Structure 1
Amino acid sequence: MLFIGDDWAEDHHDVELQDGTGRKLATTQLLEGVEGIAKLHALIARYGGEELEPERVAVGIETDRGPWVQALIAAGYRVYAINPRQAARFKERYGTSGAKSDKGDAHALADMVRIDRDQLRPVAGDSDQAQAVRVVARAHQTLIWERTRTFQRLRSTLREYFPGALTAYAALELTSTDALQLLIKAPTPETAAKLTKQQITAVLARHRRRNREQKAAAIQAALREPQLGIAAPVAAAYAAAAVAHAKLLIALNEQIDALEEQVSAHFRAHPDAEIYLSLPGMGVITGAQVLAEFGDDPTRYTSAKARKNYAGTSPITRASGKSHTVQARYVRNDRLADALHKQAFSALNTSPGARRYYDKQRARDIGYNPALRQLGNRLVGILHGCLKTRTHYDEATAWSHHATLATAA
Structure 2
Amino acid sequence: MDNAYGVFLGLDVGKTDHHAVALNPEGKRLHDAALPNTEAGLRKLFDKLARHGQILAVVDQPASIGALPVAVARACGHQIAYLPGLVMRRLADLHPGTAKTDARDAYVIADAARTLPHTLRRVDAGDDTLAELEMLVGYDDDLAGEVTRISNRIRGLLTQIHPPLERVLGPKVQHAAVLDLLSRCGGPTGLRKAGRSKLVEIAKPRAPRMGVRLVEQIFTALDAQTVVVPGTTAAETILPKLAENLRDLLKQRDQVAVQVEEMLDAHPLSSVLISMPGVGVRTAARILLEVGDVAAFPTSGHLAAYAGLAPVTRRSGTSIRGEHPPKGGNKQLKRAFFLSAFAALSDPLSRAYYDRKRAEGKKHNAALICLARRRVDVLHAMLRTSTPYQHKPVENLALAA
- TM-score of the alignment, normalized to the shorter chain, above 0.5: yes
Q: How many residues in Structure 1 have an aligned counterpart in Structure 2? A: 392
| Separation (CA, whole Å) in 1 of partners of 2:152 and 2:400 | 46
What's the secondary structure of 2:31's corresponding residue? strand
Amino acid at match of 1:134: E
Residue 326 (structure 1) aligned with residue 341 (structure 2): no
Deviates more, 1:364-373 or 1:338-347: 338-347
What's the secondary structure of 1:355's corresponding residue? helix
1:33 to 29, 38, 54: 38
In the other structure, the counterpart of 1:62 is 60
Residue 199 (structure 1) aligned with residue 195 (structure 2): no
Deviates more, 1:154-163 or 1:202-211: 202-211
Contact 2:257 2:281 in 1 (8 A): no
In the other structure, the counterpart of 2:369 is 373
Residues 323-379 of structure 1 show CA distances to partners (whole Å, capped at 9, x for unaligned) of 2231112322222222222222232222x3322222222221111111111111111
Q: CA RMSD in A?
A: 2.9
What's the secondary structure of 2:278's corresponding residue? coil
1:391 to 383, 387, 391: 387
Q: Superposed, which structure 2 residues align to 1:6-405 within 5 Å? A: 6-45=11-50, 47-48=51-52, 52=53, 56-65=54-63, 66-95=67-96, 97=98, 99-125=99-125, 127-170=127-170, 173-207=172-206, 209-231=208-230, 234-239=231-236, 242-295=239-292, 297-322=293-318, 323-350=320-347, 352-396=348-392, 403=398
- Normalising to structure 2: TM-score of the pair? 0.86
Offset of residue 315 of structure 1: 1.3
Contact 1:357 1:375 in 2 (8 A): yes
| Separation (CA, whole Å) in 2 of partners of 1:198 and 1:372 | 45
| Separation (CA, whole Å) in 1 of partners of 2:399 and 2:138 | 40
| Separation (CA, whole Å) in 2 of partners of 1:166 and 1:126 | 49
| Separation (CA, whole Å) in 1 of partners of 2:272 and 2:394 | 14
Contact 1:60 1:112 in 2 (8 A): no
Deviates more, 1:375-384 or 1:152-161: 152-161
Residues 202-240 of structure 1 show CA distances to partners (whole Å, capped at 9, x for unaligned) of 432453543434433432443354244333xx3344555
Offset of residue 170 of structure 1: 4.6
Would the alpha carbon gap of residues 391 and 188 (structure 1) be closer, same or farther in structure 2, given more than 3 Å must change? closer
| Separation (CA, whole Å) in 2 of partners of 1:330 and 1:250 | 37
Offset of residue 148 of structure 1: 1.8
Contact 2:25 2:114 in 1 (8 A): yes
Amino acid at match of 2:270: A
In the other structure, the counterpart of 2:3 is none
Deviates more, 1:358-367 or 1:148-157: 148-157
Would the alpha carbon gap of residues 312 and 133 (structure 1) be closer, same or farther in structure 2, given more than 3 Å must change? same
Would the alpha carbon gap of residues 124 and 330 (structure 1) be closer, same or farther in structure 2, given more than 3 Å must change? farther
- Normalising to structure 1: TM-score of the pair? 0.85
Deviates more, 1:216-225 or 1:99-108: 216-225
Contact 2:81 2:123 in 1 (8 A): yes
What's the secondary structure of 1:302's corresponding residue? coil
| Separation (CA, whole Å) in 2 of partners of 1:34 and 1:313 | 39
Deviates more, 1:283-292 or 1:58-67: 283-292
What's the secondary structure of 1:29's corresponding residue? strand
Residues 156-203 of structure 1 show CA distances to partners (whole Å, capped at 9, x for unaligned) of 2332223243134257x1122432342233444333321223432343
| Separation (CA, whole Å) in 1 of partners of 2:56 and 2:197 | 69
What's the secondary structure of 2:122's corresponding residue? coil
| Separation (CA, whole Å) in 1 of partners of 2:83 and 2:394 | 35
What's the secondary structure of 1:25's corresponding residue? strand
Residue 3 (structure 1) aligned with residue 8 (structure 2): yes
Offset of residue 382 of structure 1: 0.9
| Separation (CA, whole Å) in 2 of partners of 1:209 and 1:376 | 37
What's the secondary structure of 1:396's corresponding residue? coil
Residues 289-343 of structure 1 show CA distances to partners (whole Å, capped at 9, x for unaligned) of 3223222x25222122222222222212223333223111232222222222222
Gaps of 5+ in 1: none
| Separation (CA, whole Å) in 1 of partners of 2:60 and 2:395 | 40
| Separation (CA, whole Å) in 2 of partners of 1:128 and 1:338 | 25
Amino acid at match of 2:346: N
| Separation (CA, whole Å) in 2 of partners of 1:12 and 1:332 | 29
Amino acid at match of 1:73: R
Would the alpha carbon gap of residues 135 and 40 (structure 1) be closer, same or farther in structure 2, given more than 3 Å must change? same
Contact 2:43 2:72 in 1 (8 A): no
Greater relative contact order (CA < 8 Å, ≥ 6 in sequence): 1
Would the alpha carbon gap of residues 338 and 228 (structure 1) be closer, same or farther in structure 2, given more than 3 Å must change? farther
Would the alpha carbon gap of residues 42 and 237 (structure 1) be closer, same or farther in structure 2, given more than 3 Å must change? farther
| Separation (CA, whole Å) in 1 of partners of 2:13 and 2:249 | 32
Amino acid at match of 2:148: T
Offset of residue 27 of structure 1: 2.2
